[in-house]
């Protein structure tokens, strides 16, 4: 995705007003989200040891930022790329019961991101996870949870409208569900990203289910690590964003792997060597709770609700000097 420069773009809010709105959205959303989902806020690590197997491998090709620590010799550490596995471990260690969960502010560095309007090397999101019973590992539970998240986001639109009526982006009234295979069959001659844009534009907001496994054409809709989401019980929440004429992913989430799904997906991904890592050993031994969880992009949500055209307008990150100057000429002031 190359840099998009919307014609006649008007940011509406000044930089200082935008900073105020960012804080308001973040403070308000996490409070309401935690209450609606029965989640407690916890502290989370910025980095984990490489040997723990807790870091998120994302699609398997992204390089984590690594370093050593003088006081802990013979160990390598990685800045987290997300907290998908750490959260599940924490729920077990903190003795959370079914129906209870946690959320945290996750800050990550993704050094291999291609920088554009939606992608930054700095990632900030609400990472959340909830304990469920084994019998709750169903599509129905997944979709009910998605509807709850959509309801909180929709309510947040009204909150922003009360405070910043001139700037708020009005969202659709409902969310549409479709599997990645159904989407492929609907647009067989399109790429996965083109399909996402077409379906999002048609319905305004969609949840695309079952991401990670091979579709009927032998290719996955998108890459997913094999050791946290169950590829049959996961998905992405996408909104159509008129400013950029594309779909914007706000959340990636899912019911997490059980022992059988972990084994099968590691085999498909040729990653059976991970079974020797502490996290994977504990999961395969049945020592971790069954969970559902995901991440909600903080800057992406602010961008969506405030109708901003570049993620750099709502977060402070690193951008090429040429991008900063070009955006400034088109009304996008990068923080």
The fraction of the chain above a pLDDT of 90, given in percent, is 69
172-186 residue pLDDT tens? 999 999 999 999 999
Q: Is 249 a catalytic residue?
A: yes
Q: How many domains does the chain have?
A: 1
Residue 57 belongs to a domain: yes
Residue 244 belongs to a domain: no
Domain CATH number, residue 69: 3.30.930.10
Residue 260 belongs to a domain: yes
Which of 125, 298, 315, 317 is flagged as catalytic?
125
Domain that holds residue 117: 16-168+251-264+279-329
Phi-psi region of 263 (alpha: psi -120 to 50; beta: other; left: phi over 0): alpha
Which of 56, 129, 196, 209 is flagged as catalytic?
56
Residue 105 belongs to a domain: yes
* Sheet of strand 66-69: strand arrangement: 47-49, 72-79, 66-69
Residue 116 belongs to a domain: yes
**Among the listed residues 284, 282, 291, 289, the one whose alpha carbon sits nearest the alpha carbon of residue 254:** 291
Question: Distance between CA atoms of 265 and 271, rounded to whole angstroms?
Answer: 8
233-257 residue pLDDT tens? 999 999 999 989 999 999 999 999 9
- For the chain, give the number of residues: 335
Q: Report residue 49's pLDDT band, with 50, 70 and 90 as the boundaries.
A: confident
Q: Is 236 a catalytic residue?
A: yes
Average pLDDT over residues 33-58: 87
H or E element that contains 87 = helix 84-93
Neighbours of 64 (CB within 10 A): 22
268-319 residue pLDDT tens? 988 898 888 888 899 999 999 999 999 999 999 999 999 999 999 999 999 9
Residue 87 belongs to a domain: yes
Residue 31 belongs to a domain: yes
Q: Is 184 a catalytic residue?
A: no
């Amino acid at each position: 995705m190359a840099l998009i420069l919307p014609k006649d773009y008007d940011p509406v809010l000044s930089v200082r007003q935008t900073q105020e709105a960012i804080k308001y959205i973040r403070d308000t959303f996490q409070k309401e989200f935690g209450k609606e989902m029965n989640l407690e806020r916890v502290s989370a690590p910025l980095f984990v040891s490489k040997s723990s197997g807790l870091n998120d491998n994302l699609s398997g090709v992204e390089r984590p930022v690594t370093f050593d620590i003088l006081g802990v010799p013979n160990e390598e550490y990685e800045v987290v790329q997300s907290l998908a596995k750490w959260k599940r471990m924490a729920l077990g260690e903190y003795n959370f019961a079914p129906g209870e969960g946690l959320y945290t502010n996750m800050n990550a560095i993704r050094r291999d991101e291609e920088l554009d309007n939606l992608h930054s090397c700095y990632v900030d999101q609400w990472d959340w996870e909830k304990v469920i019973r084994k019998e709750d590992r169903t599509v129905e539970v997944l979709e009910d949870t998605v509807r709850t998240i959509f309801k909180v986001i929709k309510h947040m639109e009204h909150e922003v409208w009360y405070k910043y009526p001139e700037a708020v982006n009005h969202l659709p009234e409902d969310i549409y569900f479709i599997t990645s295979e159904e989407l492929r069959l609907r647009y067989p001659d399109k790429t996965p990203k083109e399909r996402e844009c077409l379906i999002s534009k048609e319905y305004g907001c969609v949840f695309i289910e079952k991401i990670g496994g091979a579709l009927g054409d032998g290719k996955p809709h998108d890459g997913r690590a094999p050791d946290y989401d169950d590829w049959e019980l996961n998905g992405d929440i996408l909104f159509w964003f008129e400013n950029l004429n594309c779909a914007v992913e706000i959340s990636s989430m899912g019911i997490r792997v059980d022992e059988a799904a972990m084994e099968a997906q590691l085999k498909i991904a040729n990653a059976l060597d991970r079974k020797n890592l502490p996290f994977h050993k504990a999961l395969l031994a049945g020592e971790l709770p069954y969970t559902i969880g995901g991440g909600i992009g903080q800057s992406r949500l602010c961008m969506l609700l405030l109708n901003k055209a570049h993620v750099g307008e709502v977060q402070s990150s690193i951008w090429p000097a040429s991008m900063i100057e070009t955006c400034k000429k088109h009304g996008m002031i990068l923080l």
